[in-house]
Amino acid sequence: MSQVNKDELVLIYAGNPVNAVMVNQLLNENGILTHIKNELMGTLAPWQVASGGYEPVEIFVLSKDEEHAQSVISAFNSSR
C-alpha cells in the first residue's frame, strides 16, 4: 500500500497566462500556497514551453491542498 506524500506538488491548473494569474490569486486568497511554472516564458514565447503554445502556464499546489484547490478552480471556471 502506498501513501501519498502530503508535501508533494501536484499540477492543478494549466492555461493561458491571464487566466493562470487569476487562478493563482484566487488560490492564494483561499490560503493555498502555489508554484507557477513558465509564468514569464508562457507570456513571451509560449510555443517554447508548451506544444503549439497551448496552455503554457502551469500551477502546482501541495497534494494536501488539492481538493480545496480544485473546488476554487471549479468556481472560477463556472463564473466565466
Q: Domain 9-78: which topology?
A: Alpha-Beta Plaits (3.30.70)
What distance in Å separates the CA atoms of residue 2 and residue 24, rounded to the nearest whole number?
30
Helix axes 17-29, 66-78, angle to 10 degrees: 120
Q: What is the pLDDT of residue 75?
A: 94
The answer to whether residue 3 scores a pLDDT higher than 80 is no
Cα distances (Å, whole numbers) of residue 1 to 4, 63, 72, 73: 10, 18, 30, 30
Check residue 60 and give its pLDDT. 98
Please give the model's pTM, rounded to 2 decimal places. Answer: 0.84
- What is the average pLDDT value for the chain, to the nearest integer? 89
Q: How far apart are CA 18 and CA 38, in angstroms?
A: 12
As a whole number, mean pLDDT of residues 45-61 equals 86
Residue 66 has pLDDT above 80, yes or no: yes
